[in-house]
């Protein structure tokens, strides 16, 4: 019997030694942050951490981080598929004094969800959300992104990669640029869908640069220098914007597009009370109207050196 027991123990000891480091590095499926938490905690709901960055380091791939109380939680980088949620009634702020509030760099095919966060650029940060992931899907839901006005940057949301952004129920106000898109090539395009959002008080509400596709539905662009803009310093620009059931009011220019491959489709939308032009279309850019648009009470309804067609 003793010999048999010794034999069993000889087999178990290596297994136990192997499991100890695995158990020590085990991560959370659901992590949590709180203003009363500590970054030396386990980051579970009963034992929350203080910052998003530490909570993310203790969260499994595809897991989630939830906010338990109102407060500031610091800038952070996302390098894994994850969902980060601040529930209704809780104010979760990210207000850095430099750099980017949230940087997203995840592998192709992964998805990231950010919901219910408030990003404040008033203290000097360059950008709100920067997406540097190729082939990732990023869901931005119920965000407030405001005050990103740093010289030479000032982006509420920025992507310069082949990425897929899906923005819903969000407010972007008083930035230099609310949303900036630029893909890396004609086959590696930056894409965004914008639904039930307000883009207000910026130089550009939405700025589509080269190799980009944007769809805007059920949204308001107000108080910007340009509500939406296809604009580039390159000799031509491959960018498309589709707009449906949206309002462009009290901007300087409601819709701006320049160069021959720039294409904007507009349907069921209202362009009104803009102080310079409803539409400013230059150098061969195209605007295709599907009809049922209202263009009224602007300082001038349009200027065209491109084309305008009813289709």
Q: Outline where the chain has alpha helix (H).
A: 2-24, 52-57
Residue-wise pLDDT for 131-143, tens only, equals 988 888 999 999 9
Local structure of residue 169 (DSSP, 8 states): S
The pLDDT-based confidence of 302 (bands split at 50, 70, 90) is low
217-253 pLDDT, tens digit each: 999 999 999 999 998 777 678 899 999 999 999 999 9
**Taking CA 258 as the corner, what is the angle to CA 256 and CA 263, rounded to the nearest 5 degrees?**
80
Structural domain of residue 66, as residue ranges?
Answer: 31-310
Q: Enter the pTM of the model.
A: 0.88
Is residue 1 domain-resident? no
For residue 195, is it within any domain? yes
pLDDT at 303 over 80: no
Q: Is residue 264 part of a domain?
A: yes
Higher pLDDT pick, 192 / 290 = 192
pLDDT value, residue 8: 44
Task: Give whole-number Cα distances, 24 to 19, 60, 79, 141, in Å.
Answer: 9, 14, 21, 34
Specify whether the CB–CB gap between 236 and 209 falls below 8 A. no
Count of domains observed in the chain: 1
Encoded tokens for 219: 């949204």
Counts of helices then strands in the chain (DSSP H, E):
2, 32
Q: Is residue 25 part of a domain?
A: no
Predicted confidence (pLDDT) at residue 3 exceeds the cutoff of 60: no
Classify 206 as helix, strand or coil.
strand
Mean pLDDT of 157-177: 94
CB 117 within 8 A of CB 90: no
Sequence-distant (≥ 6) Cβ neighbours of residue 48 within 8 angstroms: 31, 32, 33, 34, 36, 37, 41, 55, 68
């Amino acid at each position: 019997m003793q010999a048999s027991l010794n034999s069993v123990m000889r087999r178990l000891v290596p297994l136990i030694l192997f499991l100890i480091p695995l158990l020590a590095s085990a991560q959370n499926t659901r992590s949590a942050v709180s203003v009363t938490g500590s970054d030396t905690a386990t980051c579970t709901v009963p034992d929350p951490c203080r910052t998003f960055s530490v909570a993310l380091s203790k969260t499994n791939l595809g897991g989630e981080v939830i906010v338990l109380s109102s407060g500031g939680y610091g800038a952070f980088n996302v390098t894994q598929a994850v969902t980060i949620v601040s529930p209704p009634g809780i104010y979760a702020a990210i207000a850095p004094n430099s750099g980017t509030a949230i940087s997203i760099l995840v592998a192709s095919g992964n998805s990231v969800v950010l919901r219910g966060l408030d990003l404040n650029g008033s203290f000097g940060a360059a950008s709100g959300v920067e997406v540097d992931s190729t082939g990732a899907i990023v869901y931005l839901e119920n965000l407030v992104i405001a005050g990103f006005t740093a010289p030479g940057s000032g982006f509420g949301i920025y992507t310069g990669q082949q990425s897929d952004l899906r923005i819903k129920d969000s407010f972007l106000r008083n930035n230099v640029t609310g949303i900036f898109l630029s893909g890396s090539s004609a086959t590696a395009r930056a894409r965004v869908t914008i639904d039930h959002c307000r883009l207000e008080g910026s130089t550009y509400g939405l700025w589509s640069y080269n190799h980009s596709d944007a769809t805007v539905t059920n949204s308001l662009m107000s108080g910007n220098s340009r509500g939406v803009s296809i604009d580039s310093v390159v000799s031509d620009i491959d960018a498309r914007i589709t707009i449906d059931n949206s309002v462009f009011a009290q901007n300087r220019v409601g819709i701006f597009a320049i160069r021959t491959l720039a294409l904007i489709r507009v349907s069921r939308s209202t362009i009104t009370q803009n102080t310079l032009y409803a539409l400013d279309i230059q150098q061969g850019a195209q605007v295709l109207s599907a009809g049922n648009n209202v263009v009224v009470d602007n300082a001038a309804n349009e200027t065209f050196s491109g084309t305008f067609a009813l289709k």
